[in-house]
Chains A and B, each alone.
Chain A
Amino acid sequence: MGRVQDKVALITGGTAGIGYATAELIGQEGGKIVITDLRPVEGEASAQALRDKGYDATFIEQDVTDEARWKEVIVEVVEKYGRLDILVNNAGVGEATDLENSDLAHWRFVNSVNMEAVFMGTQNAIKQMKLNGGGSIINISSIEGLVGDPRFGAYNASKGGVRLFTKSAALYCAEKKYNIRVNSVHPGFTETPLLAGAADLFSPEDEERINREIAVGYMAQAIDQAYGILFLASDESRYMTGSELVIDGGFTAH
């Protein structure tokens, strides 16, 4: 009996990094996995890699910023697996912001992926989960939803928004007695493609600062975040809602 036996999990941005590590771990613990991503080729390959390990996994192409697409994706999940138990709002972009020289289009892009998609995912998941007796929604915020970063104005705003939206949604579901829990995860610096993409934006002084701030002295692996997400997905955390799971090697403890 796995820790999420027969639970149906939808993971956005599930092709690589934290999303893929989470999909793999949920598969290992008996869950059924639907991963979504903008990139169909990579997405199909990741789902195939999961199936090759004997897991029940499906890829669905999805632009998480598309409002109409969210309903279709949930319908596809339910057609295939009959229910939805877990949503991991994981898709995100790690764009830097030059506060004086960036424009509103940049701001809206970052917030559309990192924050608006979390709103739409949560809203649509709730509508399905309430029909199947409950569920767990896990929103991937960041340590940058807790502390500021001079190079990431839009990212900070989006992740801080996710942190508080999560609490609002948790309270909404509790009030309605939907038995749906909503929590946020706050990864510290983690070795993922998103971070590799953002690394060009850091100067050597930034890197020195970051390494000093990571108390344990090294970055996380994607699996370190996945274990926290698994815990929130499983019934082991049934009394947790509106809460924050910070997995950051001590970054925000000082």
Chain B
Amino acid sequence: MARMQDKVCLITGGTGGIGYASAELMCKEGGKAVITDIRPVEGEASAQTLRDQGYDATFIEQDVTSESRWPEVIAEVVALYGRLDVLVNNAGVGAGTDLEESDLAHWRFVQSVNMEAVFMGTQNAIKQMKLNGGGSIINISSIEGIIGDPRSAAYNASKGGVRLFTKSAALYCADKKYNIRVNSVHPGFTKTPMAENVGDLFGPADMERIQHEIVIGHMAEAIDQAYGILFLATDESRYMTGTELIIDGGYTCH
């Protein structure tokens, strides 16, 4: 019996990076994966790659910031697989912020993807999971939901928001006896397409600072985050809710 046998998982931003690595690992452990993304060509290709490995995987196009799209996506998942057991709110943007020169439109864009989408995903997943007896919601925050970064004000705010919203949602579900657990994962610097894009925003001095802060001296692979997400998705973590899984090579412990 695999660790995720027959569990139905919805993973936003599942086309690449941590999302794709999580989808692959959940399938490997017997789960069924629905990945969503705003990019239909890349999304279909990723789902096909999973199916080519013999896994049960589907792609659904989704803009996670669209409120009306969320109920449709959940309905599609249930139409296909009959239930929803795991939601990984993984989609995110890694924009840098120049605190003096940025505007409210920039701020709102970052919050809409990184925080509002997590609210809507959690809300819609709860409504379905309570019908099928419970579930596990995993919100991907960041080490930047724990510590500050001078170049990432909007990102800091969004990830800090996810950290505490997760606890609120965990307590809400516990109060209601829904048997739905809600936890956050806090990746450190991880080799993903998102980190590569953000890399342009850092100067050599920033990179030196970052390398110094990563105490084990190297960045994570996406699979390192995926194993933590898998642990929170399985029933092995059934007593964990409202908590934080920090996978950062020691970045935030000093």
Contacts and interface: CB of A to CB of B under 8 A. Distances in A.
Contacts of A177: 217
Given A237-B247, A242-B254, A249 B236 contact: no
B215 A171 contact: yes
B241 interface: yes
Given A239-B188, A245-B245, A231 B236 contact: yes
B243 A216 contact: no
A236 interface: yes
Given A253-B167, A254-B167, A254-B171, A243 B241 contact: no
Interface string A236-253: 111111111111111011
Interface hub of B216, B242, B247 (most chain A Cβ within 10 A)? B216
Interface residues on A, range: 35 or more
Interface of chain B, main secondary structure: mixed
Interface hub of A225, A228, A252 (most chain B Cβ within 10 A)? A228
A236 B250 CA distance: 16
Contact of A216 (B188, B231, B239, B250): B239
Interface residues of B, number: 36
Contact of B227 (A224, A236, A247, A254): A236
A237 B227 CA distance: 7
Contacts, number: 118
A167 interface: yes
Given A217-B174, A239-B248, A250-B170, A167 B254 contact: yes
Contacts of B224: 238-239
A228 B220 contact: no
A94 to B, nearest CB: 18
B188 A253 contact: no
A215 B103 CA distance: 40
Nearest to B230: A236
Contacts of B174: 215-217, 249-250
B16 interface: no
A252 B243 CA distance: 8
Contacts of B246: 240, 243-244
A224 B231 CA distance: 12
B94 to A, nearest CB: 18
A58 B245 CA distance: 32
B108 interface: no
A18 to B, nearest CB: 12
26 contacts: A170-B253, A174-B217, A175-B215, A215-B174, A224-B238, A225-B239, A228-B231, A228-B236, A236-B231, A237-B228, A237-B247, A239-B224, A239-B247, A240-B246, A241-B253, A242-B250, A242-B253, A242-B254, A243-B248, A243-B253, A244-B246, A245-B245, A246-B243, A250-B243, A253-B171, A253-B241
Nearest to A179: B216
A167 B249 CA distance: 11
Contacts of B228: 231, 236-237, 240
Interface in A192-246: 215-217, 220-221, 224-225, 227-228, 230-231, 236-246
A249 B241 contact: yes
Interface string A107-136: 000000000000000000000000000000
A225 B239 CA distance: 8
In order of increasing CB-CB distance, the 9 nearest A-B pairs are A253-B242, A242-B253, A239-B224, A224-B239, A215-B174, A227-B236, A236-B227, A174-B215, A167-B253
